[in-house]
Amino acid sequence: MKSTLTFISTVLFISTLFLPTTFAEDYTLWKLPEGAKMRFGKGTTENIVGSTIYQFSPDSSQLVVFTSIGIWIYDVQTGKEIRLLTKHKVRWAGNTALSPDWQVFADLSNSSEKHEIKLWDLHTGELRTTFDNQDAWVNSVAFHPDGKMLASSDSKGAIRLWDIASGKHKHILTPHKIVDEVMFSPDGQTIMSRRNNDYQLWDVATGEFKISLDDPVTIDNMVFSHDGAYLLGANRSELRFWILIPEKLR
């Protein structure tokens, strides 16, 4: 896993700025791999504690990096840092989601008294709005592809589909005792929930359950194809591939 993180850091050229000066100077001497154009930051992802999220802007001119020590936005053409938000820290990839239009990001705020989802302005760091998840610990969050809806999962097994404009629930789904992660299909018609190795697919428009996928093999990551017709799962040793045929999984 260590070599994989180093490879990602070199290819995407992302790293932390909070390093000793001597180490920060050394990175300029690192030889870029073949095909690489530039390097952002001053280190490797090994120096960032926790999960890291990279995402390009819709026009590919900027790159945002969510880390456990802050959020960076870089200019892709120059490699220069545009903005650094140190107030916001990511402890796990599922705790943060970026809107498709790159205007806001959502993160989770859990305490003994409150369980909330907060929407922040990506460019100013200011709070836009807060969704109250009442008495359940929020585990993950995801934006709908059209940016108008937000999905969250919690410790009581509920998936809430929020209308961002009104702040109200559109549907409340109850697939598992606990939901670890939620994910929308690229076409926005399906939402997938995960609890350990149990994956369930739901219809976004109606909130109805579609089908369940229970795999005996531990899957670390799942991803939809761009057209939403396929699912790909992976762990450290193998890939799993499923075909989504109208309301059926094969």
More confident residue, 30 or 217: 217
Q: What residues contact residue 103 under an 8 Å CB cut-off, 6+ apart? A: 121, 122, 123, 147
Residue type, 49: V
Give residue-wise pLDDT tens across range 29-50: 466 677 776 666 655 554 454 4
- Tell me, what's the pLDDT at 8? 37
Q: What percent of the chain has pLDDT over 70?
A: 72
Mean pLDDT of the chain: 76
- Tell me, what's the pLDDT at 24? 39
More confident residue, 94 or 95: 95
Q: Which of 65, 73, 9, 75 is nearest to 42 (CA)?
A: 9
Place of tokens 């995960």: 194
Please check whether residue 141 is in contact with residue 117, taking contact to mean a CB–CB distance below 8 angstroms: yes
Among the ranges given (23-27, 61-65, 236-240), the one the predictor scored with the smallest mean pLDDT: 23-27
- Radius of gyration (C-alpha) of the chain in whole angstroms: 19
Q: What domains are there in the chain, each with its CATH number?
A: 92-214 (2.130.10.10)
- Tell me, what's the pLDDT at 210? 87
pLDDT band at 242 (very low <50, low <70, confident <90, very high): confident
Question: Across residues 193-205, what is the average pLDDT?
Answer: 85
Please check whether residue 46 is in contact with residue 5, taking contact to mean a CB–CB distance below 8 angstroms: yes
Give residue-wise pLDDT tens across range 68-78: 777 888 998 88
Calculate ∠ Cα 201-207-209, nearest 5°. Answer: 40
Q: What residues contact residue 39 under an 8 Å CB cut-off, 6+ apart? A: 10, 13, 27, 30, 32, 79
Q: What is the Cα–Cα distance from 190 to 182, expressed in whole angstroms?
A: 11
Please check whether residue 105 is in contact with residue 98, taking contact to mean a CB–CB distance below 8 angstroms: yes
Provide the strand spans (E) within the chain.
53-56, 62-67, 70-75, 81-85, 96-98, 104-110, 115-121, 127-132, 138-143, 149-154, 159-163, 169-173, 181-184, 190-195, 198-203, 209-214, 221-224, 230-234, 239-245, 248-249
Whether the model pTM is above 0.85 = no
Q: Which of 237, 95, 113, 213 is nearest to 152 (CA)?
A: 95
Give residue-wise pLDDT tens across range 115-150: 888 899 998 889 999 888 777 778 889 999 999 999
Strands 198-203 and 209-214: antiparallel
Q: What is the Cα–Cα distance from 25 to 42, expressed in whole angstroms?
A: 8
More confident residue, 177 or 241: 241
- Tell me, what's the pLDDT at 112? 66
